[in-house]
Amino acid sequence: MKLFYRFAGISVLTFLAGMHCASATEYPLPPENSRLIGENTTWVVPDDRQPLESVAKKYKVGLLGLLEANPGTDPWLPKPGTQLTIPAQMLLPDTKREGIVVNVAELRLYYYPKDENKVIVYPIGIGQLGANTPAMVTSISQKIPNPTWTPTPNIRKRYAAEGKSLPVTVPAGPDNPMGLYALRLAYGKQHYLIHGTNADFGIGMRVSSGCIRLRPDDIEALFNSVPKGTRVQIINQPVKYAVEPDGKRYLEVHQPLSHSENDDPQTMPIALTAAAKKFINSDASDRAVIKAAIERRAGMPVLVNEGEKVTGDSPVPVNEAQRDPAALKGNAAPITKAGKGSA
């Protein structure tokens, strides 16, 4: 089953490297003409027989994001001594920097606190195949502590097809798949929420029934920070790109969301906007590096030029190790088990 196969910058305020207990990842907000934030770091897998999710949770990243950055890694039992790249560097989505921005393609939520010069990034779980989280521009209509869960008719149908029966309402508490906090969105019939979870697995994956899921600590922090009425935008941008103030050109490619169980997100075509095509076809872009980045789909920014200055001066050399196409090769390992039954 290929559904789950989809699976240097400004310094991070909350440093990831060497931390024993990570909190929400906060980045200084770059100027409007810049989108590159954060720095990648590394982690050596200890001999503790813990799944890859334990590393993802420790560093506040999504599971599939780790697999994109570290192809071939066993998600259930990563090999001790393996050095993993923690994908903490990224490009901000190409959209308005206000309120909450969710990019389903990269399985991340960006929160821009009002009148604060920072952005907070959370890994998320989104709707599984057949229960896609739709694109929208909306707002938070209700903040719900200790939510109950009332499955919709469509959710009941999906469960019934698997021979499972759901109660009319799941009460608040440890058995509620919505966790302890929920933010209701004003979109449509207001069935979509940003909420927590009672599961230890599924953040950074397509496992929900259409809602946006965060880890318990993350939803608590977001719930306590976001006021009712906050703007929420949900987008689908598997390809992000930027020309930074120093002239360096970056491309960040994620595996696109599957449309059917027969799709292979590592090889399926990625639709490009006219602006993305213009960026790719520019004489300032290295076509070979871009081709390799699109094939590799590492989910991390890749430098695709020599770092020429925007002033028109001669190009400034950039460390060749940052743009070696050979470093972009590899394929992500599939996850073949689906965690269904979530809100």
Radius of gyration of the chain (CA): 20
> Hey, how many other C-beta atoms are within 10 angstroms of the C-beta on 322?
14
pLDDT class of 311 with cuts at 50, 70, 90: very low
Q: Which of 20, 21, 191, 195 is catalytic?
A: 195
Q: Measured between alpha carbons, how far is residue 74 from residues 1, 62, 135, 190 in Å?
A: 16, 15, 32, 38
pLDDT digits (tens, 9 = 90+) for 72-113: 999 999 999 999 999 999 999 999 999 999 999 999 999 999
Q: Are 288 and 295 in contact (CB under 8 A)?
A: no
CATH of 40-88 given 3.40.50.720, 1.20.1250.20, 3.10.350.10, 3.40.50.1100: 3.10.350.10
Closest CA to 150 of 124, 132, 168, 130: 168
> Looking at residues 198-211, what average pLDDT do you find?
73
In this structure, the strands spanning 206-208 and 126-127 are parallel
pLDDT digits (tens, 9 = 90+) for 216-258: 999 999 999 999 999 999 999 999 999 999 999 999 999 998 8
Task: Please report the sign of the dihedral spanned by the C-alpha atoms of residue 44, residue 333, residue 54, residue 79.
Answer: negative
* Local structure of 178: helix, strand or coil: coil
**pLDDT at residue 150 is higher than 80:** no
- Tokens 């502590």 correspond to what residue? 145
CATH of 25-31+90-235 given 3.90.1310.10, 2.40.440.10, 3.10.20.30, 3.40.920.10: 2.40.440.10
Closest CA to 29 of 124, 101, 104: 101
Question: What does the buried/exposed string (b/e) look like for 80-114 if buried means 16 or more CB atoms within 10 Å of the residue's CB?
Answer: eeeebbbbbbbbbbbeeeebbbbbbbbbbbbbbee
Report how far residue 342's alpha carbon sits from residue 192's, in angstroms, rounded to the nearest whole number: 13
Q: Which of 20, 21, 191, 211 is catalytic?
A: 211
Q: Is 211 a catalytic residue?
A: yes
pTM score: 0.81
Closest CA to 223 of 181, 252, 285, 275: 181
Question: What does the buried/exposed string (b/e) look like for 262-273 if buried means 16 or more CB atoms within 10 Å of the residue's CB?
Answer: ebebbebeeeee
Instruction: Map out the domains of the chain as residue ranges.
Output: 25-31+90-235, 40-88, 239-303
> Looking at residues 63-73, what average pLDDT do you find?
92
Q: Is 195 a catalytic residue?
A: yes
